[in-house]
Structure 1
Amino acid sequence: MNKEKRDAEMEEQGARMLEDEQQETQQEEQRADKKIAVIVARQGEALPSEFLMSLRLMEQPAGFTMELVEVEGRAGLAAAYGQAMEASTAKYKIYIDERVRILDSSLFARIVRLFEKRADLGLVGISGTKILSPDGIAFHSTRRIGSLRLAEEARTVSWGRVLGEAEDVLAVDGFLMATQVDLPWREDLFHGAAFFDAAQCLEFRRRGLRSAVLGQEEPLVEFLGESFPADEAGRRAFLAEYATEALPLVSILMPTHERPEFFKLALESALAQTYRHIEIIVSDNSEDDRTEELMKAYAADERIHYTHDPTLSALQNWRAALDRACGEYFAYLFDDDLYAPEKIERMADALSMEDGIAFVTSYRRAIDAEGNILDDPVVGPPPVAETSRIPGELAIYGLLDKQANFIGEYTTVLLPRRAKEIVREILQREPRTVLPDVECWLQLLEEGDLLYIVDPLSYFRKHEGQAGADPAVQIEGARAWARLLRERAERESGMRRKKMFEQADLIEMMLRARGR
């Protein structure tokens, strides 16, 4: 009996202890929910007195407590912030650079109110970017929003206006980063003072949580010092880990037909792109299996998607690659041409950072069968002295006035996804046009401007057996130019209309004189 009584008492005592522990845990969680930790990575022996003073002036949300968590930051901000995160039980954590001075005393209260309204919001900052530049450096993006007061220069840097109470972004800047959920900082990747901020936003995104920039009429903070240095090791680590999530996919389309030697060189130039998020769509309509055998060496590369169908015609082969493209942008690379390593990166940067651009092209060089540079009068010099945005209408008249494709072949350009339907319609048009690229450019330039890069970013190979070298094709090309001039002239008036009709008449007169 005594044993049974003792067992019952012990069981009751254990239940009370468990209940006390649960109550204490619940109380701790409640206290943590009403706690703000201000986390600072100190670079020197002590935090600047002006920084500490700005914190003392902050408005404390009703019912909340605040704590300052100070950590050594010389080993890297990701490691420092990770250490501080583990040391604090606060639900709300505000990671702030010691060179920042807060200008709005209600900033912390605003952040907490925003978090309380939005459970899907993981991270809030005072500036950030909606799209990342292809080099991975957030400050190079032209899609930035928010503002910052630069103390040493006595001026305000204002990027895009924040719409509403807060606006979602891909990444916020590391000047000030507030969270309501704890996620590990990637100290395994970053050991300096750059890229940790964008990486953390993408870690939140992987877990379904958004990042946002707080609304502001005036700058919310002042910054004393220089921006974060973008170390190359950190940049490479960032792109290796996050490029497929942070950068738009670019599809490189490679129709090929029985040119395995040239094709291999073209494929290697696609694989050598500095842009880190590409897919390579190879559509092979060869009647032999030489290219198929060659492709076995690339079977492990997940970027490459290869199909072989000898029943396809040349234009069907072009369309087959187009139909399989999934990218936000796409570019053709024909099997005898080459890309410069930075082609896609520079063109994707221009397309993603500029509004109103129909497509991007560049200067291209002609090469011979051995890859030697040719002085080709068809290519000629760049139409502009420096990289420029050319109004669409002006580019159209430039094409028609000279009857020369200064924009380049399909290999030369990078196109947005919305251009796929225009390209597809031109490629399946009957009767077939001998100027599919020019007709495509004319249609696209009705919708926007041309961005022309003066550096050579592609190489057009000239060799025996090309269709463009056939005199019959050249004659058909002249007829096509005359038709395009007449079609455009019908839409014009005045001297421009008169000149286009006269140019079309001249082309047709010359063809008649040659008995064509």
Structure 2
Amino acid sequence: MNMNKVCFITAVNDEVKYEECKFYINNLEIPEDIKIEFVAIRKAESIASAYNDAMNKSDAKYKVYLHQDTFIINKKFIYLILDLFKNNKIGMIGVAGGRGIDDTGIWSKFSEVITRVYDTGDPGYIHLLSYGKIDGQYEKVDIIDGLIMITQYDIKWREDIFKGWHFYDASQSREFKNRGYEVIVPRQDNVWCIHDCGNVDMNMYEENRKIFVGEYIKENM
């Protein structure tokens, strides 16, 4: 495991978006002792399978799993995540998440949402999604959104049960928490990311929601 490397991992099906994503990463401030690398997985059957493939290809201790349409705009990003990861209890960091989920499994509608990210959910418009107050350095959450998921430990993604592009993030959040790690959303004095997602493909959303509920919610109720 290379303690001085940060790997940026992306499932790619739009080369133009991915090049823009890399443009922002290449303009980050990088500590002298840190190397960065890119791992792109193309023609993946699911995000979970893509992320497992990429995880196994890289020896970096720190891995940043991000969508091809996530653009990191805070140039101090690497310094900020490395500072947070000095706490070895923190397993995974995101910029949008929620505390408390009900038996639907949909954290963004039925939990205490803690989010700070620029979003283009309405095509042609960019707006700040900012919910929840973080008084300290971070807040612990139950689930983070998959737009960006930053880890300092390798835990296998559940490609065995999740196909397609939904609920892999909720699943991985639970996998980290089940192993005793904290999943957090940090205080962002300067916003870290833009998520240029536009309209979201909802194919297989409901199928994966039911799988998530069966695997992680019902067993705990």
Task: State whether TM-score is above 0.5.
Answer: yes
Q: SS state of the match for residue 60, structure 2?
A: coil
Structure 1: gaps of 5 or more residues: 1-28, 248-276, 278-516
1:1-20 paired onto structure 2 within 5 Å: none
1:47-126 paired onto structure 2 within 5 Å: 47-72=17-42, 74-116=44-86, 118-126=87-95
Residue 231 of structure 1 deviates from its aligned partner by 1.0
Task: Select the structure that is richer in strand.
Answer: 2
Residues 39 and 94 in structure 1, CA contact (< 8 A), matched pair in contact too: yes
Please tell me whether residue 144 in structure 1 is matched to residue 118 in structure 2.
no
Classify 1:42/1:155 alpha carbon distance in 2 versus 1 (closer, same or farther; 3 Å). same
1:257-406 paired onto structure 2 within 5 Å: 277=221
Alignment partners' CA distance in 2, 1:211 and 1:227? 25
Alignment partners' CA distance in 2, 1:228 and 1:34? 36
Q: Percent identity between the aligned chains?
A: 29
Classify 1:34/1:98 alpha carbon distance in 2 versus 1 (closer, same or farther; 3 Å). same
Show CA shifts across 1:28-80 (max 9, x none): x4xx0111101011023565332121111111123111101111254111110
Show CA shifts across 1:197-236 (max 9, x none): 1110111111111100011134321111235637111011
Alignment partners' CA distance in 2, 1:47 and 1:146? 23
AA of the residue aligned to 1:95: Y
Please tell me whether residue 164 in structure 1 is matched to residue 136 in structure 2.
yes
1:183-202 paired onto structure 2 within 5 Å: 183-202=155-174
Classify 1:217/1:133 alpha carbon distance in 2 versus 1 (closer, same or farther; 3 Å). farther
AA of the residue aligned to 1:126: V
AA of the residue aligned to 2:129: V
Decide which of 207, 213, 219 is 1:239's aligned counterpart.
213
Alignment partners' CA distance in 2, 1:163 and 1:180? 24
Taking CA–CA contacts closer than 8 Å with sequence separation of 6 or more, which of the two structures ends up with the larger relative contact order? 2
Q: SS state of the match for residue 48, structure 1?
A: helix
1:474-489 paired onto structure 2 within 5 Å: none
Residues 133 and 140 in structure 1, CA contact (< 8 A), matched pair in contact too: no
Residues 146 and 162 in structure 1, CA contact (< 8 A), matched pair in contact too: no
Let me know the Cα RMSD of the aligned residues: 1.8
Q: SS state of the match for residue 119, structure 1?
A: coil
Alignment partners' CA distance in 2, 1:168 and 1:228? 29
Residue 87 of structure 1 deviates from its aligned partner by 0.4
1:207-226 paired onto structure 2 within 5 Å: 207-225=179-197, 226=199
Residue 141 of structure 1 deviates from its aligned partner by 2.8
Residues 99 and 141 in structure 2, CA contact (< 8 A), matched pair in contact too: yes
Show CA shifts across 1:312-343 (max 9, x none): xxxxxxxxxxxxxxxxxxxxxxxxxxxxxxxx
Alignment partners' CA distance in 2, 1:64 and 1:89? 13
Alignment partners' CA distance in 1, 2:43 and 2:129? 26
Structure 2: gaps of 5 or more residues: none
Residues 137 and 195 in structure 1, CA contact (< 8 A), matched pair in contact too: no
Residue 171 of structure 1 deviates from its aligned partner by 1.0
Classify 1:107/1:45 alpha carbon distance in 2 versus 1 (closer, same or farther; 3 Å). closer
Alignment partners' CA distance in 2, 1:56 and 1:153? 25
Residues 99 and 107 in structure 2, CA contact (< 8 A), matched pair in contact too: no
Classify 1:183/1:158 alpha carbon distance in 2 versus 1 (closer, same or farther; 3 Å). same
Alignment partners' CA distance in 2, 1:111 and 1:244? 33
Q: SS state of the match for residue 241, structure 1?
A: helix
Task: Return the index of the structure with the highest Cα Rg.
Answer: 1
Classify 1:186/1:68 alpha carbon distance in 2 versus 1 (closer, same or farther; 3 Å). same
Alignment partners' CA distance in 1, 2:102 and 2:184? 18
Residue 100 of structure 1 deviates from its aligned partner by 0.8
Classify 1:54/1:45 alpha carbon distance in 2 versus 1 (closer, same or farther; 3 Å). closer
Show CA shifts across 1:330-364 (max 9, x none): xxxxxxxxxxxxxxxxxxxxxxxxxxxxxxxxxxx
Alignment partners' CA distance in 1, 2:149 and 2:200? 15
Q: TM-score, normalised by structure 2?
A: 0.91
Classify 1:227/1:105 alpha carbon distance in 2 versus 1 (closer, same or farther; 3 Å). farther
AA of the residue aligned to 2:21: F
1:411-430 paired onto structure 2 within 5 Å: none
Residues 119 and 128 in structure 2, CA contact (< 8 A), matched pair in contact too: yes
Match of 1:255 in 2: none
Alignment partners' CA distance in 1, 2:104 and 2:24? 35
Alignment partners' CA distance in 1, 2:81 and 2:177? 19
Residue 133 of structure 1 deviates from its aligned partner by 3.7
